[in-house]
Amino acid sequence: MNSAEFLLWVRGPGLNIALVIFTIGMLIRLLEIFMLGRKQNLAELRANGVSAGLRTIFTRSTPADKNSMRRSMFTFVAGYGFHIGLFVVIFLLTPHIQLIQSLLGFGWPALPTPVVDLFTVIALISLMALLWRRLTHPVVRYLSTPQDYLVWAATFLPLLTGYMSYHHLWFPYSWLLGVHILSVEFLLILFPFTKLTHAFTLFISRWYTGMMAGEKGVAS
Amino acid sequence: MSNNKPLGQALREQGVSRRGFLKFCATTASLMALPPSMVPAIAKALESARRPSVIWLSFQECTGCTESLTRSHAPTLEGLIFDNISLDYHHTLQAASGDAAEAAREAAMEENKGNYLLVVDGSIPLGNPGYSTIAGISNLEMLKEVAEHAAAIIAVGTCAAYGGLPHANPNPTGAVSVEEIIKDKPIVNVPGCPPIPVVITGVLAHFLTFGKLPELDHLGRPLAFYGNNIHDRCYRRPFYDKGLFANTFDDEGARKGWCLFKLGCKGPVTYNACATIKWNDGTSFPIEAGHGCLGCSEPNFWDMGGFYNALSESTMNLSRTAAVGIAVGAAAGTASGLLNRRKKSKAEAAHETVSVKDLQREDKS
Ligand code: SF4
Ligand code: SF4
């Protein structure tokens, strides 16, 4: 297989296979959660939970109390650096928007490539720092499962190969681009079966927590 | 047409000055990334080179490659060198036809056994030998026959190099490239749809100078010409980097000469000399004329998704795939959810109420 055939496969059948597995897997996951049902709430509602639920979705993204933030400054900075970087890279790079547009029929403006490039570097460094911590911090290390390392690698590779493709590092661009797309396909396929699902379920559970607390009339 | 005048003499007879000849040698050297100190060696070798016998076979092709090489622009040295190879057989260009032409080919093969160059343009159909024949001989048969005693083969154009248009999905004729058939001869791929004229004379000059073929890349292309990525050499690259793109062929971005990525430019995965050597005697190249690169020097470029779809888009219909995924996922998710609910209500129904009495220790009795 030469680079052109490889690229053709990952851009065509490979991407489609990954997308099918991703959508089917994620829908099963989410529908299972939504259809679980909740126990009937017999208590009188103190307030409407909807607004509290919505609020919690956002407030949990901000460091509410200085104390816990200070205590885990490292996780805080690296975690945010990584997640924001990843978000910018995925959703604000022109070629990616072009792909999303071909899928959904609409797009949005992109950031200049050097800016996205900077965010890629931030995300890469943050991810490496987080891995280093996972390996050196005794408690985190003890709590880590093989899946944690797998998911780390699956997230790191698309970023790394994307960075290498953009800068044409070491290998011919056609190969790099092919490997980059393949690594994304790998990530998409792993997505429904690993903790990566948190990218979706996070909002459900935040909403749920906020709503429950709201109905009881307490702050979440 | 066999004529054994050395190349230098033949060129002089055509009115090429020594100066012009040396200039050509210098350009060739620089194109092939050879040090300037090589120029005299090239000049010397070319000067005294006997015109090599060349047999040119055209299979499933559109004659675009021949057109590109022979009529690209006013006579140049490349053109003259090309004219001065002893083109013993080229069924488009030669005067003879039918049996006489085939006889010329056989005579040239016999006379220069083991020394002639074979140039091929067009792909070879494996589906049915009758799809493409010359004088009743199938392409496959003729290629094998002529390749057997060739010194080297130059596959000109993407069809001969990688299958090209005839090989495009669904490949009705079962078209393949030269290198898929001939395994035991040195082959140089000079892809392009069509290739840049000077590239083929460059390869010829290299062969005449050094008696061997130039260094090739992983797709069998001379590195000297195909070592550069269009995107890396593109003068619109700063716009790509800044994120300034033309969205249509007549918007403000297009007028300002911004990057053509969104309009389907395949430059980032294309290796060719367009952005450096340029076309039409160095006038310009497609991206300069406002159209994205099609990636014509790469295998399967016809199947790289639509010419006007961005490189990052899928070559297949992603939306349809997503729709199928969503439909199946929704059905499977609902089914699984319902099963879980049934399990839950069954468990609830089977639940026995436990009273305090049940929990009392019985060890007293
Ligand atoms: S026009 Fe094509 S080759 Fe030039 S910078 Fe844009 S994408 Fe790259
Ligand atoms: S710009 Fe691209 S498509 Fe056009 S001739 Fe050059 S390699 Fe081929």
Question: Could you read off the pLDDT of B224-233 as tens digits, one per residue?
Answer: 888 888 998 8
For the record, the structure tokens of B29 come out as 């050297």
The total of structural domains in chain A comes to 1
- State residue B2's pLDDT score: 43
Quickly state the pLDDT bin for B4 (edges 50, 70, 90): low
Quickly state the pLDDT bin for B178 (edges 50, 70, 90): very high
DSSP H stretches of helix in chain B: 7-13, 18-31, 39-48, 64-71, 77-84, 98-111, 139-148, 157-162, 164-167, 197-210, 223-226, 230-233, 237-242, 252-255, 274-277, 318-350, 356-359
- State residue A6's pLDDT score: 85
Least confidently predicted of A153-162, B21-30, B167-176, B327-336: B21-30
Nearest 5 degrees, angle CA B38-CA B42-CA B48? 150
Q: Select from A4, A28, A103 the Cβ nearest to the Cβ of B300.
A: A4
pLDDT at B272 over 80: yes
Scanning every residue of chain B, which has its alpha carbon at the shortest distance from the alpha carbon of A30? B333
Q: Select from A2, A8, A103 the Cβ nearest to the Cβ of B318.
A: A103
Residues B337-353, mean pLDDT to the nearest whole number? 85
> Taking Cα atoms as reference points, which of B308, B216, B319 lies closest to residue B261?
B308
Pocket-testing residue among B193, B298, B301, ligand 2, by greatest number of atoms within 8 A of Cβ? B193
- Rounded to the nearest 10 degrees, what angle do helices B77-84 and B64-71 cross at? 110
The answer as to whether A63 is a domain residue is yes
* Residue count (chain A): 220
Q: Select from B218, B268, B329 the Cβ nearest to the Cβ of A26.
A: B329
Query: Which sign, positive or negative, has the C-alpha torsion A25, A26, A27, A30?
Result: positive
Instruction: Specify burial of residue B96 (Cβ count, 10 A radius: 0-12, 13-18, 19+).
Output: middle
* CA distance to partner chain A, nearest, from residue B77 (Å): 33
B298 to each of B41, B110, B189, B284, B348, how far by Cα in Å? 33, 35, 11, 20, 64
Backbone angles phi, psi at B88, to 5 degrees: -80, -20
| Contact between B135 and B143 (Cβ < 8 Å) | no
Parts of chain A with a pLDDT under 50: none
Residues B221 and B306: their CA atoms lie apart, in Å, by: 25
pLDDT at B80 over 60: no
Q: Is the CB of B285 under 6 A from ligand 2?
A: yes
The answer as to whether A173 is a domain residue is yes
pLDDT at B269 over 60: yes
For B128-167, what is each residue's pLDDT tens digit? Answer: 888 888 888 888 888 888 888 888 899 999 999 999 999 9
For B105-116, what is each residue's pLDDT tens digit? Answer: 888 888 888 888
3-class state of residue A219 by DSSP: coil
- State residue A159's pLDDT score: 93
The answer as to whether A67 is a domain residue is yes
Atom of ligand 2 minimally distant from the CA of B298: 7
Residues A22 and B294: their CA atoms lie apart, in Å, by: 31
Contacts of A170 in chain B (CB under 8 A): none
DSSP H stretches of helix in chain A: 3-9, 15-35, 49-59, 66-71, 73-92, 94-104, 113-136, 138-143, 146-167, 173-190, 198-216
> Taking Cα atoms as reference points, which of A194, A116, A113 lies closest to residue A153?
A194
The answer as to whether A31 is a domain residue is no
Residues A100 and B280: their CA atoms lie apart, in Å, by: 38
Spatial neighbors of A123 by CB under 8 A, at least 6 apart, are A81, A82, A84, A85, A86, A89, A159
> Taking Cα atoms as reference points, which of A52, A60, A56 lies closest to residue A215?
A52
User: H or E segment at B215?
Assistant: none
Backbone angles phi, psi at B187, to 5 degrees: -125, 130
Report CA(B261)–ligand 1 centroid distance (Å).
6
pLDDT at B6 over 80: no
pLDDT at B1 over 60: no
Residue type, A134: R
What CATH number should be reported for the domain holding residue A158? 1.20.950
Residue % of chain B over a pLDDT of 90: 18
pTM: 0.79
Spatial neighbors of A128 by CB under 8 A, at least 6 apart, are A156
For the record, the structure tokens of A187 come out as 């990530």
Domain that holds residue A123: 47-215
Residues B83 and B3: their CA atoms lie apart, in Å, by: 12
Strand B133-134, strand B124-125: pairing: unpaired
Q: Is the CB of B157 under 6 A from ligand 2?
A: no
Binning chain B into helix, strand and coil, the percentages to the nearest 5 are: 50, 10, 40
Atom of ligand 2 minimally distant from the CA of B270: 7
Residues B226 and A61: their CA atoms lie apart, in Å, by: 50
| Contact between B278 and B293 (Cβ < 8 Å) | no
Mark which residues 256-295 of B lie under 8 Å from A by CB: 261-262, 268-269, 271
* CA distance to partner chain A, nearest, from residue B314 (Å): 5
Ligand at shortest distance from the CA of B226: 2
Nearest 5 degrees, angle CA A21-CA A190-CA B303? 55
Quickly state the pLDDT bin for B73 (edges 50, 70, 90): low
3-class state of residue A200 by DSSP: helix
Residues B336-344, mean pLDDT to the nearest whole number? 86
Residues A184 and A174: their CA atoms lie apart, in Å, by: 16
Look at B50 and B283; give whichever has higher pLDDT: B283
Residue type, B316: M
The answer as to whether A25 is a domain residue is no
Strand B152-156, strand B187-190: pairing: parallel
Q: To probe the interface with A, which of B219, B261, B269 has the most A CB atoms within 10 Å?
A: B269
The answer as to whether A19 is a domain residue is no
The answer as to whether A38 is a domain residue is no
* Mean pLDDT of the residues in chain B: 82
Residues B184-191, mean pLDDT to the nearest whole number? 91
Residues A211 and A220: their CA atoms lie apart, in Å, by: 8
- State residue A87's pLDDT score: 92
